[in-house]
Amino acid sequence: MKQFLIVFLGGGLGSAMRYWVSKTLNPYFSSFFLGTFTVNILGCILIGFIMGLSLKTNLLSQNQILLLVTGFCGGFTTFSAFAMESNLLVKDSNLLHFIFYTLTSIAVGVLSVTIGLWISKML
> pLDDT of 44-62, one tens digit each?
999 999 999 998 898 999 9
What are the backbone dihedrals phi and psi of residue 29, each rounded to the nearest 5 degrees, phi first? -135, 125
Classify each residue of 74-94 as buried b or exposed e, where b means 16 or more C-beta atoms within 10 Å of its C-beta: bbbbbeebbeebbeebeeeeb
Fill in the amino acid letter for 44.
Answer: C
The dihedral of CA 39, 27, 86, 99: what is its sign?
Answer: negative
Fill in the amino acid letter for 32.
Answer: F
> What's the length of the chain?
123
pLDDT value at position 78?
A: 77
Residue 99 has pLDDT above 80, yes or no: yes
pTM here?
0.80
